[in-house]
Structure 1
Amino acid sequence: MMASRGYDMTPTMYSPDGRIYQVEYAIETVKRGTIAIGILSKEGVILAVEEKPRPLQTKNITQKIFQVDYHIGVAAAGYIPDARVQVDSARFFSQGNRMTYDESVEVATVAKHLADQAHQFTQYGGVRPNGVSMIIAGIDQKGESIYVTDPSGTYLQYSAVAIGAGAEDVNEFLEKFYNEDMSLDDAAALAIAAINLKAEQKDGANNVKMAKITAESKVFEKISQADVENYSKNASKFDTQ
């Protein structure tokens, strides 16, 4: 990386080679975060994250998966306090949409709202870009969908995606094994296998937290650790060896 020469003092300044260093720094923060994954299946949507709790930390609470509305969830990678602020904004936005239009908000609309907010922090002095990327997943009137936002304000739609540390290798793994006709159980097993692909310790489902939104219920649900353990038994079918 070339020397910044002061061009990284504010997100409003481009370097001579057309870069915004503070945005690049924020994206590097995302790459240092533990992995988060979203996968579409024919039966719904899976969100999964890697979390390594401290010895005395309560283990049944996830810090990286959030509910935005009854039909939308978010998984984050990077600086999680920034994620909490963005999720709170998404919740206000979602409820405002319901009160104004008397209908649930679309997943794409929430993704665009969060991306627009992230972009705002690249345009003004005295602020810094959000150091977090988020997977926004849900089921609305148009069906299942997954979007990813990043610190620059970009948002893109995916069928399966990973963000965080080692995401490039994990995304190659997903490209190899993902099938749009897979069941929700297989999608969950694939997510666990993908997380363990880059994990320092291959602990199966011990450091995995998951949530789902099924096509039948269209409601965000946290998946119990016992169910995550059951899904992990099928993760070996995605062995790369």
Structure 2
Amino acid sequence: MMPNRGYDMTPTMYSPDGRIYQVEYALETVKRGTLAIGIMTKEGIVLAVEEKTRALQVEGITQKIFQVDDHIGVAAAGYIPDARVQVDNARYFSQSNKLTYDEPVDIETVAKHLADQNHQFTQYSGVRPFGVALIIAGIDRKGVNVYVIDPSGTYNSYSAIAIGTGSDEVNEFLEKNYKEGLTIDEAASLAIAAINLKSEEKSGIEHIKMSKILSEGKMIEKISTEDLKKFDEAAKGKFVK
């Protein structure tokens, strides 16, 4: 590996071997974040995150799952303050689209907008790339959609995806166990099993937050602790590691 020799001082400069170190540092920040997972099903979408709360922290408040519009949710991995900025931008963009065209915004349109913003932050001095990746998911006129946006400005669509610490291994787990035609309940159990695969906790649901968007209502809603316990029980011994 060549020394960076100052090529990491700005995102506008390529190193001699064709790398942008600031972007690589941002991607590394994502890899150090706790897991976030998005799973597409025939009934809708599940978004799940690993969120370790402190002893006196108020329960029931999720820091890593956000609502953008009625039909759009976001799960984040990496530097969460950066995620809040991007989510605010996505909310403004979604509402502006609705006022202009009098219809809910498409999921891919929001994903591309945020990806374009990320790319802009790799082109100018005096800024740094966002240190967060987002799973943006929702249901629009085209159907169920799950996209991942990374700090480089890349966005791709997936049926099931994990980002954050240990995501490579978790994505292999999802590839083995994901099947088309999953129900929401089955996807929720799969998400819990996937998070516990790499979590320090290894079992239970105290460190997991989850939301869903159903095709029928197209509204994001939080999954209760009682339901998470049921999904956790259903997940035990069901999936191939």
TM-score, normalised relative to structure 2:
0.98
Q: Is the 8 A contact 1:97 1:104 kept in 2?
A: yes
2:17 aligned partner: 17
TM-fit CA distance, 1:237: 4.1
Aligned counterpart, 2:214: 214
Number of residue pairs matched by the alignment: 241
- Name 2:162's counterpart in structure 1: 162
In 1, the alpha carbon distance for the partners of 2:38 and 2:65 equals 11
Q: 1:125 & 1:48 partners in 2: Cα distance?
A: 35
* Structure 2 residue 130 is matched with structure 1 residue 134: no
* Corresponding residue of 2:46: 46
* Identity across matched positions, percent: 68
Aligned to 2:171: 171
* Contact kept? 1:41, 1:187, Cα under 8 Å: yes
Task: Report the Cα distance in structure 1 between the residues aligned to 2:77 and 2:199, rounded to whole angstroms.
Answer: 15
Query: Is the contact made by 2:177 and 2:239 (CA closer than 8 Å) also made in structure 1?
Result: no
Q: How far apart are 1:101 and its partner, in Å?
A: 0.3
What residue is the counterpart of 2:76 in the other structure? 76
Shift of 1:229: 1.3
Q: Distance in 1 between matches of 2:7 and 2:224?
A: 47
C-alpha displacement of 1:65: 0.1
Structure 1 stretches of 4+ moved >4 Å: none
Per-residue CA deviation, residues 67-112 of structure 1 (Å, 9 max, x unaligned), is 0000000000000000000000000000000000000000000000
**Partner Cα distance (2:80, 2:152) in 1:** 17
- Partners of 1:238 and 1:86 lie apart in 2 by 36
Hey, what's the Cα distance between the residues in 1 that align with 2:2 and 2:180?
Answer: 41
SS of residue matched to 1:234: helix
- C-alpha distance in structure 1 between counterparts of 2:189 and 2:142, whole Å: 26
- Alpha-carbon offset, residue 176 of structure 1: 0.1
State the superposition RMSD in angstroms. Answer: 0.9
Contact kept in structure 2, 1:177 and 1:238, CA below 8 Å: no
Scaled by the length of structure 1, the TM-score of the pair is 0.98
Q: Which residue number in structure 2 is paired with residue 34 of structure 1? A: 34
1:222 maps to a residue whose letter is K
Equivalent-residue separation in structure 2 for 1:33 and 1:127 (angstroms)? 21
Are the counterparts in 2 of residues 133 and 150 from structure 1 also a CA contact under 8 Å?
yes
Tell me whether 1:86 sits opposite 2:86 in the alignment.
Answer: yes
